[in-house]
Structure 1
Amino acid sequence: MHHAGFTHGDLRTSNVLAHREGNAFHFSLIDNERNRQRQPPAGRDILRNLMQLNMLTPADISNTDRMRFFSHWRREMHNLADPEAHLVATEAYHWAMRRLRAKGKLL
């Protein structure tokens, strides 16, 4: 999605629908009113999308699965240098954890 220049206006996990067909998963996004397409997509919008998807507590997602997500996202983002991708992913994670703490969902 980001590699194609799209950012979602509200990319929380409840706006991502998954359907399994055999061994393949198909994903659909809902609540698309504020989506944008721009080449390249704005870095702040990508950061916000990654933060929104990471608003899951450790009880909801393991660190291993979180790293799988970031690793897959990184493989799709060919236009980012490794240090830049690492910085964006790290900041998105820390931003999500700060928000979860502020909401009382993390100790």
Structure 2
Amino acid sequence: MAPKLDLLPRYAEGVLRILDEQVPEAEVWAFGSRVVGGAHEGSDLDLVLRNPGDLTAPLSGLGALIEALSQSTIPILVEVHDWARLPDSFHEEIEKKSLLFRVPVKPAA
């Protein structure tokens, strides 16, 4: 059975809108309790952003993304991580139980 995101659609839409504005070139994966189960209303949303053209290249714009998420009206904490800055052991854990949250809306420059 494929993982399912435990997040109200209106919150997901708000996060997607901010991602589209701030990091349109990023591939975004969700992981953590909202994917594997056990989430509650106040659980955070864990996201990892990847540069689909080069997984080892850090993404630009993460600071602005984090600021936009914190200033939004989305009532949950959204934790954002850059794939290129995470250790390989964390990559392995994320790959085990994650789901694609958003494909890039424009190619990486």
Give TM-score, length-normalised by structure 1.
Answer: 0.31
Q: Which has the higher strand share?
A: 2
Q: Which has the higher helix share?
A: 1
User: Which has more radius of gyration?
Assistant: 1
Give TM-score, length-normalised by structure 2.
Answer: 0.30
